[in-house]
Chain A
Amino acid sequence: MQSQLQIPLDKKIKAVYLCIVLHTVQIGVGIAGFPRLVFMEAGQDSWISIIIAAIGLHIVIACLVFVLNSYGDHDLHGVLTTTFGKLIGKIITFVFLVYFFFSFFSVLLNYIEIVQVFIFPQMSSWFIAAILLILVLYAVTGGVRAVVGTSIIFFFGTIWMMWLLYEPITYVQVDSYLPMFTTEPSAILAGVLTTSYSLLGFELLWFLYPFIHDKPKVHRYSQLAMVFTILMILIITMVTIGFYSKGQLEENIWPVLSLIKVISFPMFQRFDLIAVALWMIIILPNLILLAWMVSIGAKRVFGWKQKYYLYLVCLIAFICQYHFDSRHEINDLTGFVGEVGVYFGFLFPVLMVPFAIYKRKKGKKKDNAKN
């Protein structure tokens, strides 16, 4: 049996931080385009899709935490190797890492595209990538506490942006939500699937779990984080659907960013430019947390130092970024990551539940035998 991870107390974090960390890793670059995607599937009944996806999410989180609790102080790698043996465990973890790397990469590409479309069309991709990756390197080398710390600071640095919805809300027309309950169930389900893409990110818990100091509270706080994410997505989507008319929303690639364009102050006539720049602060925790996940996971699979994997991840991302520069390529990659992510994120924890139950029973027998 694998030995459990021994993490010194001064490197651990409190469970209450999960509330924010899980939320920040979920909300990122995707939210800027999400309302359009879900609207294209489920129309004005998108809110039903979101609520169904939310229920699914809460169940998955319950499964995930149940599995982690059954195995004790293990992360994804530990769980897999204890269940399936060393080789298979390592292979599955590696597949997970590849998926996490692609999520990392797609966040990076999407933000670069937004900057180029909205603010600096002439700015080259490598330059933006370099700036972001330097920041990622700097934060992740600080260790888990720095990683969690940055996401908390950046969360409070950007959460006020929800107030920016105030002005667009005055443009909302109730007609946009009518007629209710007319969408086909299949369309609603397609909307559920779309929503689940943008809820991904909570897989972070697989790797963060051993670093949490007070484990009994993990479940409570992760569920709270999910409630928070869902509420945010729901509010943003409802405002966006009310703000645009049908055809207009279906045309707009980043409806949430275009929504901010109606905000204008005498001093800042074009507030949307500031909002796009600030979007970097929203996506940086995403990049940092994902890069941390990939590097710590690689360390667990192959040994060696985490730092080296971090350099490798950034280097690969920097090089690959040259090959993705059109809207279609980026869109395809993001879509692919989302589709695969549904299996990795949503299906996998549920599949692990039987193994966790088995493990619990075996553990009990052992305890009984000992006594």
Chain B
Amino acid sequence: MRKIKFTGILICLITMTLLSSCVDERIIEELGIVTVYGFDYSDSADQIDGTTVLYQFNPDITDASQIIHSTGNTFDGIRDNANKQSGYKIVNGQLQNVIFGPNMSENGIFPYLDSIERNTAVSVMLYVALSDEPTRNLLSASNYEEAPNIGIYLQRLIETAVRDERIVSSTFHEFMRSYFQVGKDPVVPILSEEDNKVRVNGIGALQDDVLVGEYTMEEAFYVRLLTDRFDSGRVELALGLEQFEGFISEHANREQEEEQMFLTIDQITSDTTIDLKDKDAINFMVEISMDARVIELSQRINLDNPEAIKLIQEAVEKKLESNLKEVVKKSKEMNTDVFGFGVEYDNRTRDEELTKKQWRDLFPTVEVDYQIDLEIKRFGTVQ
């Protein structure tokens, strides 16, 4: 009996070890690992121009970054055509970003994301981004700091912006989530190149998957304020100076009269709730409660006085509100609901299900009221 058991174990072990080599093997030195794809529409060929940035793990290669240009009709077609120009097997397992050029984003980028969704080899944590110039130029930028290649640099660039709460996160999963959700549009970072270096220039406002406008980095703060919560955000505001008359310290006398005072608050923690107040008129109430700390004031204001602090808080609240109104107005003009007002509307109107088209017609008529509650908790080390 014992002998039979032993042979059983032996057979299992032998088959397991011997058969493991039957599996398709991938030797890392023979792979071209794609870190970023850039897509442009090619007018001449009526096809997609793809820029593939490869990374190789071969110790003999000093420059581990390789750029291949190829054309094709589909995502996988481009990969396959790129492979014709490379001695390495091109694999997508470490793909960090996909970037679409301007004439692609005007026509919709979703069809080219299908392959990523289907293919289990690709991570869903990659970033979807747009570029305001052909990606061919963008990806040939030669300054990518200490990163091994441009793809990894771009991933770090976007990730830092997301982690510092400058832009809204747009991983592939989050992009798809918003794309499929009725009453919400995806947001993506927009990259541009300057002095051979890529930077995040703003965030794109999409209608489903078509780019219709752009928010600047300043406006991105307000987009984020409405869609997400802050843990340590920062914002710089210009406040009218005349309302602080009487609190400005004497020693700050200057020759030249200024009309504005700049104030920077950081360590912002915020919590936003969007509430549908009136179903028929589609009136939303946005309630934001924020905590923050003043890190910079361009004028010396006597903060010993509680009145002054109260005044600052009110002024900041008012300024934030007017800026939020501007951003929402801009979105209504572009007709993209990146904030998810439609989701709230759909959830509250129980009888029927909202369709994307209905919300497109309704969104420009939406009215939004704000109630911002800011508490400035600290002022740094000076009063």
Contacts and interface: CB of A to CB of B under 8 A. Distances in A.
A248 interface: yes
Given A118-B120, A270-B123, A262 B173 contact: yes
Contact of A171 (B8, B16, B173): B173
Interface stretch (B19-27, B76-84, B211-219, B374-382): B19-27
B12 A135 contact: yes
B55 to A, nearest CB: 13
B93 interface: yes
A138 B181 CA distance: 49
A177 to B, nearest CB: 9
Interface string B123-138: 1110000000000000
Given A175-B340, A246-B181, A247-B180, A122 B24 contact: yes
A131 B17 CA distance: 11
B180 A246 contact: yes
Interface string A204-244: 00000000000000000000000000000000000000001
B186 to A, nearest CB: 11
A261 B177 contact: no
Interface string A113-141: 00001111011000100010011001001
A4 interface: no
A264 interface: yes
B347 A179 contact: yes
Contacts of A182: 350
Contacts of A134: 11-12, 15
B348 interface: yes
A258 B124 contact: yes
A269 interface: yes
- Most chain A CB inside 10 Å of its own CB: which residue of B93, B177, B179, B340: B177
A213 B382 CA distance: 77
A264 B123 CA distance: 9
Contacts of B177: 173, 244-245, 248
Interface in A253-287: 258, 261-262, 264, 269-270, 272
Contacts of B16: 131
Contacts of B301: none
Given A123-B23, A245-B181, A269 B123 contact: yes
Interface string A175-197: 10011001000000000000000
Interface in A288-324: none
Contacts of A119: 120
Contacts of A127: 19, 22
Specify the main secondary structure of chain A where it touches its partner. Answer: helix
Give the most central of A178, A245, A247, A258: most B CB within 10 Å.
A245
A117 B120 contact: yes
Nearest to B346: A179
Given A179-B347, A182-B350, A247-B181, A262 B124 contact: yes
Contacts of A138: 8, 12
Nearest to B348: A179
Contact of A248 (B12, B24, B125, B176): B176
A119 to B, nearest CB: 8
B109 interface: no
A199 B123 CA distance: 31
Given A127-B19, A134-B12, A246 B182 contact: yes
A269 B176 contact: no
Contacts of B350: 179, 182
A139 B134 CA distance: 60
Contacts of A173: 177
B343 interface: yes
Interface in B176-227: 176-182, 184
Nearest to B22: A127
Interface residues of B, number: 33
B52 to A, nearest CB: 20
A120 B123 contact: no
Interface string B332-346: 000000001001101
Nearest to A44: B347
B94 interface: yes
Contacts of B173: 171, 261-262
Contacts of B120: 117-119, 261, 272
Given A246-B181, A262-B173, A175 B343 contact: yes
Among B11, B180, B344, the most chain A Cβ lie within 10 Å of the Cβ of B180
Interface in B314-354: 340, 343-344, 346-348, 350
Contacts of A117: 120
A223 B124 CA distance: 39
Contacts of A120: 23-24
B114 to A, nearest CB: 10
Interface string B115-126: 001001001110
A123 B181 contact: no
Nearest to B174: A171
B366 to A, nearest CB: 17
Contacts of B19: 127, 131
Contact of B180 (A171, A248, A264, A269): A248
B217 to A, nearest CB: 25
B125 A262 contact: yes
Interface string A334-346: 0000000000000
Contacts of B15: 131, 134
Contacts of A135: 12
B124 A123 contact: no
A251 B179 CA distance: 13
Contacts of B23: 120, 123
B3 to A, nearest CB: 14
A261 B347 contact: no
Nearest to B120: A118
A245 B24 contact: no
A270 B93 contact: yes
Interface string B85-96: 000000001100
B128 to A, nearest CB: 14
A134 B16 CA distance: 10
A248 B124 CA distance: 13
B177 to A, nearest CB: 5
Interface string A144-187: 00000000000000000000000000010101001100100000
Contacts of A175: 181, 340, 343-344, 347
A267 to B, nearest CB: 14
A244 B124 CA distance: 12
7 contacts: A120-B23, A131-B16, A244-B177, A244-B180, A245-B177, A245-B180, A248-B176
Interface of B: 8, 11-12, 15-16, 19, 22-24, 93-94, 117, 120, 123-125, 173-174, 176-182, 184, 340, 343-344, 346-348, 350
| Interface pairs A-B: 6 shortest CB-CB | A247-B180, A245-B181, A178-B347, A248-B180, A261-B124, A245-B177
